[in-house]
Amino acid sequence: MKVRQRQPLSAGEPLKPKHESQSYITHALFFTAFFSVAYFLLHRWREKIRTSTPLHVLTLSELAATLTLLASFIYLISFFGIASTLFPFFNSRSPSDDDLYLTVNCSPPPPQSPSNLIPCHKLEDDELVQAVVSGSIPSYSLESQLKDCRKAAVIRRSAVEIVTGRSLEGLPVEGFDYEAILGQCCEMPIGFVQIPVGVAGPLLLNGKEYTVPMATTEGCLVASTNRGCKAIHVSGGASCFLLRDAMTRAPVVRFASAKRASDLKFYLEDPLNFDSLAVVFNKTSRFARLQSIKGTVAGKNLYIRFSCSTGDAMGMNMVSKGVQNVLSVLEREFPDMDVMGISGNLCSDKKAAAVNWIEGRGKSVVCEAVIKGEVVKKVLKTSVEALVELNMLKNLTGSALAGALGGFNAHASNIVSAVFLATGQDPAQNVESSSCITIIEAVNDSHDLHISVTMPSLEVGTVGGGTHLASQSACLNLLGVKGASKESPGANSGQLATVVAGAVLAGELSLMSAIAAGQLVNSHMKYNRSSTQVLS
């Protein structure tokens, strides 16, 4: 605690209070008035809500109470010493240069750093680094103070090296557009990580060829997916279908009883009420369209799962904003409802969950192809019978024994992650997006192979998030799905989902073939080991 004093105090002299003449009785009166009228107004407003009386219609007693509340509030914040921060006009005197700041133990004031005397943009780089290290300039404020995002990253990087005592050599800082991530993708950047991008293809999907970008550091992954693309292509291509498109958000609300939670559940299930709430939700965005609301009761708590289409955006922010608006309306209809959280985990985002596996989230797709028997032998180096049996034992039975949740596949997550990183998707949503069941069957008198992947919760978008960054935007452009579709909103993100599923199909086909043919270990030993780090 610091006390402002014009004259230095002699040793042992007690500190005098700043406002000796201020009456404690006055403080007590204003405290009492503030809480009394606040309670009165809250009680009156609650009655108005119950009787559907407009809140802005005030009686004389309510008007007087409002003025008293305002006056006591202003008095109290000035008493607590924060009025000068919130309302500068409360300051009757500006601090002069000869003001001394004495701590309670009368120790001398700490020396001022150069950043307190000179604007940040006038300091040398070394001075800025030291100011960040000392804490006089918060690291998070460098961009706003310097108005130069690249320089902010360089200064912060140097400060981190000093504070940690560890070198960041090898982490590049130059050559990146830091303006593009400000307030959107990453806070307090100190550089960027390089991930190589390879391409697999052409992937012949729905009669169109795609060259699929994949950002990965795993050897064999791109090569294996490329082999799967070749097998699909020479067999006539794959077909993919978008089954459902609905992003979800599920807030949790609480009541005083299970009966009231049930009342709201039944209210939401009424088609007329849904239509009125859909109007409120859809006003949030030109692209947000509410599809369904499902309530799940747990005691006196209600979890409300909203599902909506979001155009070409992945849509988490869009649906959250719409849900917030609907909750505001519901609070007027159910004033005893307490909103505990905008997300109650029944959504379910970034977690493996049965609700996403069963009901879907984001894009739900299915992709299939028939691979000719001779292609299985010549390109994939195995047989139809071996692939069918391996899929049953590995992807189905083995996954069931493991208690897998949506993991009835060989390595769908590998391909999903690589395409997500290349195209600016949220990599954490790889968790639910990789839910996939791979089914392999013999067809055409067991001469050919039918393979399919069903993915119920692919969460992708072509606008928002990291999709606008230069590298990721280039990869989206390579696929022909950059930005929003002007002709048909949502078409680009839907097409991206089918490409991801098609790439997963190719990856599953190739890896399963490698395992069936006993090639997996040899190929990884050849292509996925760094000779510079192998000692034996």
524: annotated active-site residue: yes
445: annotated active-site residue: no
Q: How far apart are CA 293 and CA 307, in angstroms?
A: 6
Q: Which residue among the candidates 48, 300, 350, 394 is catalytic per the annotation? A: 350
Q: Which residue among the candidates 426, 432, 459, 508 is catalytic per the annotation? A: 426
131 burial class (0-12, 13-18, 19+ CB within 10 angstroms)? buried
For residue 29, the one-letter residue type is: L
Q: How far apart are CA 128 and CA 137, in angstroms?
A: 8
Sorted by sequence, the CB contacts under 8 Å of residue 222 that are 6+ apart come out as: 198, 199, 200, 214, 216, 418
270: annotated active-site residue: no
Q: Which of 206, 287, 154 is nearest to 505 (CA)?
A: 206
Q: Which residue reads 């240069």 in tokens?
A: 97
CB 325 within 8 A of CB 331: no
**How does DSSP assign 502-529, residue by residue?**
HHHHHHHHHHHHHHHTT-HHHHHHHHS-
Q: Is 296 helix (H, G, I), strand (E, B) or coil?
A: strand
User: What does the DSSP 8-state code read for residue 2?
Assistant: E
Q: How far apart are CA 400 and CA 174, in angstroms?
A: 48
450: annotated active-site residue: no
91 burial class (0-12, 13-18, 19+ CB within 10 angstroms)? exposed
Q: Which residue among the candidates 127, 161, 218, 441 is catalytic per the annotation? A: 218
Q: What is the set of active-site residues?
A: 218, 350, 426, 524
